[in-house]
Structure 1
Amino acid sequence: MKTRPNDASVKDFLAKAGNERRRGDALALLELMKGVTGEEPVMWGDSIVGFGSYHYRYASGREGDWPLAGFSPRKHALTLYIMSGFAKHGELLSRLGRHRTGKSCLYIKRLEDVDLNVLRELVERSVEEVSTRYAGSGS
C-alpha cells in the first residue's frame, strides 16, 4: 500500500489547503477528530490527515494499516474517511445535512452544510466499531 504514515507536517499541509474557508473547515475537522480519537494527527501519504491506526487482514490475504479516522481537504470537497462504512448509520446520515458518500468516504462541500454534532457522533460510532472489529490488531 502506498499510503503510509510519515513525518510530514500536518500544520504545513493544512496551511496550504485551498482557500481560507477550506483551511478553516480543515482545522475544525482536525479538532473534532482529535477530540473523538484522543490521538494526535499524522500525515498518511501526501494528502490524508489520520488519527490512530488499525491493522486489517482480508480473507484474500491482503493486509495493511489505515487510520481509525481521517480526512483530506480536497479541492472539490472535504473527504472524511469513515472506516466502518455507512450501512449502520442511515439514521445519522439522514440528520447530517448536505453530503455524498462512497464506500467509506463522506464528502462534504462545507462544514456549514452539516450538523457538527451529528458528524461528531458519526465519527465516534465509526471509531468505536472499527476499534472493536480490529481489537488487538492495532499497529
Structure 2
Amino acid sequence: MYELKTKENDNDVIEFIEKVENLKKREDAYKLLDIFTETTGFQAKMWGTSIIGFGSYHYKYASGHEGEAPLVGFSPRKAKTSLYFATGDTTRVNLLKEFGKHTTGKACVYINKVADIDIEVLKKLIKQSILFLEKTYPDSK
C-alpha cells in the first residue's frame, strides 16, 4: 500500500527557515510565513522535510487513495519558492493573471521572490484555496 511521504510533523518551522542558505530566500520565507499565518489564522506546521503548511484537510479520491494535506503552504526551494494552493478551482486561474511574475506546475505556483508578486492577490489566492478545499472536503481543519 502507498504511504504518503509528506506528512505533518513536529519539526520547527523557524529552525527550517534559518537553514535556508540564500539570505534573500530566507527573508522572503519569513515574509511568506507572516502573510500565510495572518491570512489563514492557522499556525505554521512542517509537512515532510521542506513544506511549511497551514491547516489541513483529509482527501479521498475515487480510486480509494486518501490522505492528509495542508490547505495551503509554501517551500523556499533553492531554485524558486513553491506556493501550494488548491488546483481544482477556476478562481485560481483568474487570480494568477493578476499575481505578478510566476510560473506554474501541475500543483505548484513558483516565484523567484516576493517582490515579484502582488501581496493582495496572494492573500486572495490563500483565502480562495481554503474556501474551495473546505467546501470540497468538509472535514478540513
Task: Flag whether TM exceeds 0.5 (same fold).
Answer: yes
Report how far residue 42 of structure 1 moved: 0.6
The answer as to 2:26 corresponding to 1:23 is yes
* Range 54-63 or range 2-11, more displaced: 2-11
Could you say if the C-alpha distance between residues 84 and 130 of structure 1 is closer, same or farther in structure 2, counting changes exceeding 3 Å? farther
Q: SS of the counterpart of 1:24? A: helix
Alignment: residue pair count:
138
Q: Which runs of 5+ in 1 are unaligned?
A: none
User: After the TM superposition, which residues 1-139 of structure 1 pair with which residues of structure 2 at under 5 Å, given as runs?
Assistant: 1-85=4-88, 87-135=90-138, 137-138=139-140
* Range 62-71 or range 118-127, more displaced: 118-127
The two structures have a TM-score, normalised by structure 2, of 0.92
Alpha-carbon contact 2:58-2:69 (below 8 Å) kept: yes
RMSD, aligned α-carbons: 1.3
- Once residues 66 and 120 of structure 2 are traced to their aligned partners in structure 1, the CA distance between those partners, rounded to angstroms, is 33
Alpha-carbon contact 1:71-1:80 (below 8 Å) kept: yes
- Residues 82-133 of structure 1 show CA distances to partners (whole Å, capped at 9, x for unaligned) of 1244633232111111101112201000111111111111111111111111
The two structures have a TM-score, normalised by structure 1, of 0.93
Aligned letter for 2:25? Answer: R
Aligned letter for 1:45? Answer: G
Alpha-carbon contact 1:84-1:129 (below 8 Å) kept: no
Q: SS of the counterpart of 1:3? A: coil
- Residues 21-59 of structure 1 show CA distances to partners (whole Å, capped at 9, x for unaligned) of 101110111111111211101111110001110000000
